[in-house]
Structure 1
Amino acid sequence: MNAAAGNDGMVRRVVVVTGASGGVGRATARMLAGPGTAVALLARGASGLRAAADEVEAAGGRALPIETDMADFAQVEAAGRRVADELGPIDVWINNAFSSVFAPFQDISPAEFRRVTEVTYLGYVHGTRVALDHMAPRDRGTIVQVGSALAYRSIPLQSAYCGAKHAIVGFTESLRCELRHDRSNVRVTTVHLPAVNTPQFDWLLSRLPRPAQPVPPIYQPEVAARAIIAAADRPNRREYWVGAPTMLTILANRLVPGLLDRYLARTGYQAQQTDRPTDPHRPTNLWRPADGPGQPDHGAHGAFDDRSHPHSSQAWLSRHRRLALAVGGAGAALGVYAFRRR
């Protein structure tokens, strides 16, 4: 059996990343890579997978690219078997693959809506099932569901995607209860992301009059990748919220959902479109990959580098809560001491 080994020859961990050919999945796979880590890369796009595998190998990791349509359970199951056979037992499975359509609901055909649901929701169900098939017998492993602020607060023009992300939350909460009932040591955690600068806005099917864009503020995919890796390392937390916009959106929806309905009805259409004209020849990846054989590799970043934040203070504080609380407590104690000395 081939496996990744560190400089000391010891096998460390095997990680599966779905949607690994571009965007957040690509950035996560690249950041995970290093001596002692084997990364299985699951996606449909051959050129993107090949480039992602090169990045993992260049960082000292072992890469196993597998062309996989996450909507097809048989393909996902076969990929899981291949990972176990070629790399060893799966330690971490990161569900990230998705697709979507930018359009008002009535402009999305039933077949398109079904396809988004099969990739974005059932893809997570399939990945989770295969991960558990490998992890449960060993009573060990971590599953990370990459979610979104839109899993709690839907926005216009993304009904299929928002519906799928909401469904992932419901499915994951049910599964978490079952694992706790079984006293399983397999852990499941979710990372909810803000708007991220990924190639999705260049290749998702869109019927908008102008090119789609993420709703600002926008973050670079590495911000998301750092949070995902932290969640994989510390999966005992149920959820991670990445970025202040995610935190504020989820909390505001709990408090004033009707107000957000009105606000998004007024601003949501324009906020998700650029001022440029639409390219009629742009690729779309709903039915086939936009980075397939003979097509260009799109990488991790989208077209909004000049408007994207490379860091998030909120995300850093979320990953280092104990340190933040300690510093805050020390600051408060010093404040009280100074006040008493006056």
Structure 2
Amino acid sequence: MGLRDHVVVVTGASSGIGRATAEAFARKGSAVVLAARREEALEAAAHACAKHRGARTLVVPTDMTDAKAVEDLARRAVQEFGRIDVWVNNAAVNAFGRFEDVPLEDFRKVLDVNVMGYVHGARAALRVMREQGTGTLINIASIVGAVAQPYSHPYGMSKHAVRGLGSSLRQQLRVEGVKGIEVCTVLPATIDTPHFQQAANYTGRKVVAMPPVYSPERVARAVVRLVRRPRREVVVGPAGRALVRQSRMAPGLAERAMARQTDKTHLSHDEEAPATHGTLHVPAEGEGSVHGGWGGRRRTALRRTAVAAALAGAAVAAGRRATHGPAGA
């Protein structure tokens, strides 16, 4: 069955990675079920998806912390399209601050959305997929699920939990002898989304996207590839892959590097910021957007141009050496 025949549920589809992922599947002609708290933003995302030939959409406003609402999301997807081939758990929130400074209500909210929201999504998806005998569950984690950061304690905890959930589910399906159902985890590096502007913040400093910044479309392409060629875990972004490798070989060094980078580039040293709950308890207004204005696409293009120029220069130099022989020959 090609992606044109797939039914895909995407949570957190109102903006950022979720919205880019919904559009990526719509571009392939899939039926896309869009879920998040903001109906206005979901409608805007669905309108963008519907522009692609063959795409069908269903908007289901859903609070992922509400288990019944998530079950209703799965039920409506099956009622509308007959099945669920792919479920992307993506809805997530963040809170920045010193460990002692983040209000406990905000700490709990991050864990409730980012952990229990994924639990609710996985239960709803797997129930349908077990009946079908096939399906792919994709959980969006983060590189901070491999190397945690200072100032975003609940988020790092939640993303470690997401990796653990994926691993334990794969093992359970294996020991039960279940075939045809895949569980994959995606670990993006810093992505150009509205996530950072919407986070709760108690640091006193403006939160900015920690470079290097990659586009949400890059994550979306990785998610689509996983449906075709499932893998346990995929890291998106070369910088993220380097950090994860370092965390395996020299975890203490990776922690020190992350601590320095976060304090130096993730929190502004020039702009102050008032304490805020962000969008933890009340969703943002408006139609939402894929990008956060951090230049992910532009910076990726510049990096590729620089790499291409370097490779071209190296090729020219190698050609000259081959023509004239090594220096001193």
For this structure pair, what is the TM-score category when the shorter chain's length is used for normalisation?
0.7 to 0.9
> For residue 17 of structure 1, what is the amino acid of its counterpart?
V
Task: Say whether 1:297 aligns with 2:287.
Answer: yes
- CA change 1:51–1:104 in 2 (3 A) is same
Task: Say whether 1:309 aligns with 2:297.
Answer: no
Cα deviation digits, residues 165-209 of structure 1 (max 9, x gap): 001111211110111122222111111111001001111111222
| Equivalent residue, structure 2, for 1:218 | 213
Cα deviation digits, residues 15-69 of structure 1 (max 9, x gap): 0001000000001111110474210001011221111010111113111111111
2:143 aligns with one of 144, 149, 166: 149
Counterpart of 1:250 in 2: which secondary structure?
helix
Q: Distance in 1 between matches of 2:18 and 2:224?
A: 11
> For residue 26 of structure 2, what is the amino acid of its counterpart?
A
Q: Distance in 1 between matches of 2:273 and 2:261?
A: 24
Counterpart of 2:218 in 1: which secondary structure?
helix
Task: Say whether 1:27 aligns with 2:17.
Answer: no
| Equivalent residue, structure 2, for 1:50 | 43
1:186 aligns with one of 181, 184, 187: 181
User: What TM-score results when the alignment is normalised by the length of structure 2?
Assistant: 0.85
The within-5 A match list for 1:162-241 is 162-184=156-178, 185-235=180-230, 237-241=231-235
- CA change 1:226–1:209 in 2 (3 A) is same
User: What TM-score results when the alignment is normalised by the length of structure 1?
Assistant: 0.82
Alpha-carbon shift at residue 213 of structure 1 (Å): 1.5
Alpha-carbon shift at residue 277 of structure 1 (Å): 2.9
Task: Say whether 1:91 aligns with 2:82.
Answer: no
**Any unmatched runs of 5+ in structure 1?**
1-5, 314-342
Q: Is the contact made by 1:195 and 1:216 (CA closer than 8 Å) also made in structure 2?
A: yes
Give every structure 1 segment of 4 or more consecutive aligned residues whose post-TM-superposition deviation is greater than 6 Å.
none
Alpha-carbon shift at residue 214 of structure 1 (Å): 2.1
| Equivalent residue, structure 2, for 1:114 | 108
Higher mean C-alpha displacement, 20-29 vs 107-116: 107-116
Q: Is the contact made by 2:136 and 2:181 (CA closer than 8 Å) also made in structure 1?
A: yes
> For residue 131 of structure 2, what is the amino acid of its counterpart?
P
Q: Distance in 2 between matches of 1:141 and 1:312?
A: 36
Counterpart of 2:140 in 1: which secondary structure?
strand
Q: Is the contact made by 1:203 and 1:282 (CA closer than 8 Å) also made in structure 2?
A: no
Counterpart of 2:293 in 1: which secondary structure?
coil
Q: Distance in 2 between matches of 1:263 and 1:230?
A: 31
**Any unmatched runs of 5+ in structure 2?**
305-329
Q: Is the contact made by 2:145 and 2:156 (CA closer than 8 Å) also made in structure 1?
A: yes
The total of aligned residue pairs comes to 300
2:74 aligns with one of 80, 84, 108: 80
Alpha-carbon shift at residue 280 of structure 1 (Å): 5.2
> For residue 104 of structure 1, what is the amino acid of its counterpart?
R
Alpha-carbon shift at residue 279 of structure 1 (Å): 6.1
Higher mean C-alpha displacement, 105-114 vs 275-284: 275-284
- CA change 1:265–1:305 in 2 (3 A) is closer
- CA change 1:98–1:64 in 2 (3 A) is same
Q: Distance in 1 between matches of 2:168 and 2:46?
A: 34
State the identity as a percent.
37
- CA change 1:137–1:311 in 2 (3 A) is farther
| Equivalent residue, structure 2, for 1:129 | 123
Q: Distance in 2 between matches of 1:267 and 1:53?
A: 37
